[in-house]
């Protein structure tokens, strides 16, 4: 492992010029404008003081820039991780308390250490263990919970809950306490944000602005909503009318230090931190790969674990909470022309300046505006088509997605992701324990062998050719054995040869090997020889480590065609 591999900036800093600097600066300005309201909003979603959202958007960006392999991924607070943080920390401390904030900081530190450890252990393949449908289902359900959880700020009521039943029950129980001014403010902010997202860009284009520029300006909709509702809050004395405001936000940079070193606290947070680490990594690496592919670049999943770990440790050391790569923010960064991670460094400087000079004006910002920002942001997370697509394409995927969505909505985000992982593993084991098995015959005039139920093929009474479309291991060894015995029991009495075509067999474990030995002995008793064809090199290497081939009653053929040519009756 080279230093250049561990420090990707050593590659892209070579040849860095004025053109790249200009592109990175422009992207940083745009992302900073977008990130300020998002940081405040996601801190609110996590149940934390607004300034912690800003703190989580300064050092983590610089830390990822130093170690990350994606040149355009933008790291910071994101909706799903913020919700998971609120859920985990809420079980340990009361929202708004000093212990709550300390636990969130500890969560970031613990998550960061876990990610770094996984990176050093080369666990980058973790991104492949969660299927896209399961992740999509989890994020969709989380988006619904997030949106509903923010309705309390839109209505100005005190309602809580970690899942759909408790949230709806709490909202209905307190809906009569709705603050009219808060409701008007929240609905107006929602309408403005939805219009800027869908209508402002086309309007600016009709006024003569370029398409790309108009799209970037439209991304600043949350800033416009913040400015307008803050002005309304000041002029109409929202504070005196019972409207919940952000309140006093400490001015200045965060105090740097170690996160709480309480072993009991870390033990209580461990499982939640691991789930946050995995979900955050999967979301981040998916975005990173997508953007890198557009520029024919590549990212290293193991190095990404280290980079995200460093970002979370930096967040914990600067009073922030767990962070990861954000989809919408990264896409804006990419579209704005960011060329390197210096764009993120410039963004961090912009957020730092905001923390130094802009926080006093946030006192009068209505929380309903931040809630509206979150609701509009998470609408892009909700995939309404995933269930229908999964149902049409794969029943097993549908079951996994449905189980993930239902469990997340009913039992909460942590049990939801565990359900998705558990169901996916269970379905995989079920599918591989009952692999597809086909009796094959030769397509006339060719050397190809196909399923006798799908094609007109040539077969011989003295030969059964069986293809098994799965690696052989302990979970399907018995199924394979039973299938062979059933075929032999129904076969023509002239049967002399049984050929196992191993085209799709990538591995034969010890349990499957013992099953094959048992099959060979049973067939031998009936005067039938067992043959293998198209055995892959690694599988042959494994078989040669045993005495199976020495006692094989038949032969091992290079191809199925050669096997049938050698064994068919003359």
Among residues 213, 153, 211, 140, which one has the least CA distance to residue 179? Answer: 153
| pLDDT reported for residue 396 | 83
Residue 134 lies in a domain: yes
E strands along 143-218, which residues? none
Q: Is residue 153 part of a domain?
A: yes
Position 408 in a domain: no
Which residue among 351, 383, 415 closes a domain?
383
Residue ending a domain, among 346, 368, 383, is 383
Range of the domain at 546: 437-567
Statement to judge: residues 505 and 378 lie in one domain: no
Residue-wise DSSP of 28-86? HHHHHHHHHHHHHHHHHHTT--HHHHHHTTTHHHHHHHHH-S-SS--EE--HHHHHHHH
Residue 404 CA to residue 64 CA, distance in Å, equals 30
Residue 324, in any domain of the structure: yes
Statement to judge: residues 118 and 200 lie in one domain = yes
The reply to whether 359 and 448 lie within a common domain is: no
∠ at Cα 274 (273, 275), nearest 5°? Answer: 90
Same domain, 137 and 216: yes
Q: Which residues make Cβ contacts (< 8 Å) with residue 525, sequence separation at least 6? A: none
The maximal CA–CA distance of the chain, rounded, in angstroms, is 101
Cα→Cα distances 187→101, 143, 191, 274, Å: 30, 19, 6, 37
pLDDT of 222 > 90? The answer is: no
The per-type count for the chain, helices as H runs and strands as E runs, is 27, 8
- Same domain, yes or no: 486 and 358: no
- Residue 260 exposure: Cα atoms within 13 Å on the Cβ side: 19
The pLDDT of residue 5 = 66
The answer to whether position 146 is within a domain reads yes
What does the alpha-carbon distance between residue 487 and residue 484 come to, in Å, rounded to a whole number?
5
Interval 372-430: pLDDT, tens: 999 988 888 888 888 888 899 888 888 889 999 999 999 888 888 888 888 888 888 88
Q: Is the pLDDT of residue 246 over 70?
A: yes
Average pLDDT, the chain: 90
pLDDT digits (tens, 9 = 90+) for 534-554: 999 999 999 999 999 999 999
Distance CA 246, CA 252 (A): 17
Question: 451 has which bridge partners?
Answer: 440
pLDDT, tens only, 514-538: 999 999 999 999 999 999 999 999 9
Domains in the chain: how many in total? 2
Q: What is the CATH number of the domain that holds 559?
A: 3.30.750.24
Are both 346 and 480 inside the same structural domain?
no
Q: Work out the average pLDDT over 260-285.
A: 90
What is the chain's percent helix, strand, coil content, to nearest 5? 65, 5, 30
Report pLDDT digits (tens) over 94-148.
888 889 999 999 999 999 999 999 999 998 887 677 777 888 888 899 999 999 9
Please state whether beta strands 497-501 and 437-442 pair in parallel, antiparallel, or not at all (unpaired).
Answer: unpaired
3, part of any domain? no
> Among the three residues 338, 355, 383, which one is the final residue of a domain in this structure?
383
Read off the tokens for 480.
């394979």
Q: Note whether 84 and 189 are same-domain residues.
A: yes
CB 308 within 8 A of CB 115: yes
Dihedral sign of CA atoms 189, 194, 199, 200 in order? positive
Same domain, 172 and 247: yes
Same domain, 137 and 66: yes
The encoded tokens of residue 202 equal 């086309």
The answer to whether position 375 is within a domain reads yes
Q: What is the mean pLDDT of residues 78-84?
A: 92
Residue 461 and residue 356 share a domain: no
Q: Is residue 396 situated within a structural domain?
A: no
Is the pLDDT at 1 greater than 60, yes or no? no
Match 């969660």 to its residue by tokens.
130
- Residue owning tokens 């607004």: 50
**Same domain as 151, residue 274:** yes
Domain match, 79 and 173 both:
yes
Q: Which residues contact 151 (CB under 8 A, 6 or more apart)?
A: 159, 171, 371
């Amino acid at each position: 492992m080279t230093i250049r591999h561990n420090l990707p900036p050593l590659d892209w800093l070579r040849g860095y010029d004025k053109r790249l600097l200009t592109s990175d600066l422009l992207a940083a300005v745009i992302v900073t404008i977008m990130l300020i309201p998002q940081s405040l909003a996601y801190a609110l979603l996590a149940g934390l003081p607004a300034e912690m959202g800003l703190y989580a958007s300064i050092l983590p960006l610089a830390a990822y820039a130093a170690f990350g392999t994606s040149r355009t991924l933008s790291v910071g607070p994101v909706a799903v991780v913020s919700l998971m943080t609120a859920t985990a920390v809420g079980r340990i401390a009361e929202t708004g308390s000093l212990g709550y904030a300390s636990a969130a900081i500890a969560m970031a530190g613990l998550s960061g250490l876990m990610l770094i450890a996984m990176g050093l252990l080369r666990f980058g393949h973790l991104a492949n263990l969660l299927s896209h449908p399961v992740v999509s289902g989890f994020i969709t359900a989380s988006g619904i919970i997030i949106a509903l959880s923010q309705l309390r700020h839109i209505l100005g009521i005190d309602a809580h809950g970690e899942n759909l039943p408790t949230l709806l029950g709490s909202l209905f129980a307190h809906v009569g306490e709705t603050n009219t001014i808060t409701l008007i403010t929240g609905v107006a902010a929602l309408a403005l944000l939805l219009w800027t997202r869908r209508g402002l860009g086309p309007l600016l284009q009709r006024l003569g602005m370029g398409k790309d520029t108009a799209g970037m300006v439209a991304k600043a909709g949350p800033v416009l909503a913040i400015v307008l509702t803050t002005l309304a809050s000041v002029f109409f004395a929202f504070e005196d009318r019972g409207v919940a405001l952000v309140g006093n936000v400490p001015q200045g940079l965060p105090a740097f230090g170690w996160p709480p070193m309480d072993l009991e606290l870390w033990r209580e947070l461990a499982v939640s931190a691991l789930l946050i680490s995995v979900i955050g990594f999967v979301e981040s690496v998916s975005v990173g790969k997508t953007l890198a592919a557009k520029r024919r670049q590549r990212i290293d999943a193991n190095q990404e674990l280290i980079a995200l770990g460093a970002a979370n440790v930096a967040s914990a050391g600067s009073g922030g909470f767990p962070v990861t790569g954000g989809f919408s923010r990264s896409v804006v960064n990419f579209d704005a022309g960011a060329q390197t991670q210096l764009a993120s460094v410039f963004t961090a400087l912009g957020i730092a300046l905001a923390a130094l000079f802009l926080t006093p004006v946030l006192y009068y910002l209505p929380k309903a505006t931040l809630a509206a920002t979150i609701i509009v942001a998470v609408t892009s997370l909700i995939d309404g088509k995933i269930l229908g697509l999964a149902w049409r394409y794969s029943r097993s995927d549908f079951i996994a997605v449905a189980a993930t969505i239902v469990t997340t909505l009913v039992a909460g985000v942590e049990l939801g992701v565990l359900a998705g992982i558990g169901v996916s593993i269970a379905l995989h084991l079920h599918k591989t324990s009952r692999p597809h098995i086909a009796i094959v015959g030769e397509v006339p005039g060719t050397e190809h062998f196909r399923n006798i139920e799908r094609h007109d093929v040539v077969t011989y009474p003295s030969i059964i050719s069986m293809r098994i479309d799965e690696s052989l291991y302990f979970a399907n060894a018995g199924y394979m054995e039973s299938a062979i015995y059933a075929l032999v029991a129904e076969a023509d009495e002239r049967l002399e040869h049984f050929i196992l075509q191993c085209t799709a067999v990538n591995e034969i474990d010890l349990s499957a090997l013992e099953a094959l030995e048992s099959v060979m002995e049973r067939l031998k008793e009936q005067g039938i020889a067992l043959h293998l064809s198209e055995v892959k090199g690694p599988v042959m290497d494994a078989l040669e480590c045993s005495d199976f081939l020495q006692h094989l009653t038949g032969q091992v053929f290079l191809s199925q065609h050669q096997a049938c040519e050698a064994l068919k009756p003359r």
